[in-house]
Structure 1
């Protein structure tokens, strides 16, 4: 057999119209770039047909993009979306509120800024929820869109536990002492009244201690915090009960016994001092003091007469 030997001839590919391909030993553009360049060359030499009105469409698209970019820079995108979607029939025309006992619908509408032309599409649900959460009585709120033009708002409101008087101001408070809102009317007049600095923070724990003496608790009109350390009770007949700083149950048991055995709270007294464990002091009213003084003077005169006769 004869061995055929020889050099393999190098084949050279002629460059195409775009001049994209060189010799096999040269560099070749990546495939995506080759397609782009080929399309650009074909477009330049007239091989690609251009649809009618393509220039008009391109110009309108360019102007629209420029307009949207300008609105974005100027902060008018929201206004544009609002007016466009409102005109398309998505204006908010119904607001359904549930769970509102103390929060008025007027306050809700004002907080959301609804004016009859607000678009449901453009409404930011999270922003609306945050605004409503700032209302005094609102503890939790959810907001839901119902197309084409309804908002559903569900509220969970805070619960008023008592009235707190600080200075000349009256406020409604929760059990944890948080202030809900100023007291505006007599709707909550049946709630217990706590008076003084720091009284709101200790109100719930102190009030709970009186559950064992419901008869006396029903007669309390105000719990007054004294020097941030102890309490006075203001009863419905004006009597002041002065409680100790410590061991309030012991003092209340003493008061309950005095009331049961002697009806002390029905007498013409100004105050009952229970601050000391070994004694109870009762202070009479001014009228009772005058009457007592008259009685004592009369008794003194009678004793003097008896002494003189002797």
Structure 2
């Protein structure tokens, strides 16, 4: 092999080429990772969050953003920002030559969930603090989206009576109960929900709507009967 001049020349050329590649890669890696090359000078918010605290955002940025424009880990920044209260989703992108752009999607609270959390308009449970007056949802794990959907359906039906759902409960047996804005409780059970609520709406103006002190004593209306309903008054008289 050592007497084969063409082979030796080929090996030398290959070694020289590999050396050049290694040097270029090392130099490029060094240059790219130089902190003074394209340093991050600004982090801009694409929208103005209503709930997310700017101080919390700045604290996360100071803690997480490292490196320069080319090496900054935007996925880590995104995941860190998504841990803040009221944040549902975050997108982060580079803005040449030395900036980052952050866009927040915030949770829009729809109701309180089991008195320990909140539910957003997509039916997702999240944890945050608010003084906002909200309806109350009660349900078991994994049912928040279903409860939110039924809330919208029941609310649309009750609009004809100018009533709102104040509290919506789903029992472990999958039975539904509504507390209305006038504090009247409506038992709908587990099936034919829209039909039962429609019957309630039909009879409400004629026998259930408050018309005086005696009528206001109605506490619960049970619509689970096939062709009628039962009423329970505050004193326990049906």
Instruction: Indicate how the Cα distance of structure 1 residues 105 and 119 shifts in structure 2: closer, same or farther if over 3 A, else same.
Output: farther
In the TM superposition, what whole-angstrom CA distance separates every residue of 1:201-241 from its partner, at most 9, and x where no partner exists?
Answer: 31233123321331447332111112341111112332211
Counting helix residues as a fraction of each chain, which structure ranks higher?
1
State the shift of 1:282 in Å: 0.7
1:141 aligns with 2:71: no
1:85 to 30, 35, 38: 35
1:270 aligns with 2:219: yes
1:195 aligns with 2:138: yes
What does 1:23-38 correspond to in 2, within 5 Å? 27-30=3-6, 32-33=8-9
Q: Match for residue 128 of structure 1? A: 77
TM-score of the pair, normalised by structure 2: 0.70
What does 1:59-78 correspond to in 2, within 5 Å? none
Q: Match for residue 236 of structure 1? A: 181
Q: Distance in 1 between matches of 2:218 and 2:11?
A: 106
What does 1:33-44 correspond to in 2, within 5 Å? 33=9
Q: Match for residue 55 of structure 2? A: 106
State the shift of 1:281 in Å: 0.9
Counting strand residues as a fraction of each chain, which structure ranks higher?
2
Q: Distance in 1 between matches of 2:148 and 2:45?
A: 31
SS in 1 for 2:35: helix
Q: Distance in 1 between matches of 2:78 and 2:207?
A: 59
Structure 1 portions without partners, runs of 5+: 1-19, 21-26, 37-64, 69-76, 293-310
SS in 2 for 1:252: helix
Looking at CA atoms only, which structure, 1 or 2, has the larger radius of gyration? Answer: 1
In the TM superposition, what whole-angstrom CA distance separates every residue of 1:255-280 from its partner, at most 9, and x where no partner exists?
Answer: 11222223435521111111111331
Structure 2 portions without partners, runs of 5+: 13-22
Count of aligned residue pairs for this structure pair: 215
Q: Match for residue 232 of structure 2? A: 283
Q: Distance in 2 between matches of 1:34 and 1:185?
A: 74
TM-score of the pair, normalised by structure 1: 0.56
RMSD over aligned Cα atoms: 3.8
SS in 1 for 2:140: coil
CA contact under 8 A between 1:164 and 1:170: conserved in structure 2?
yes
SS in 1 for 2:177: strand
Q: Match for residue 108 of structure 2? A: 160
SS in 2 for 1:197: coil
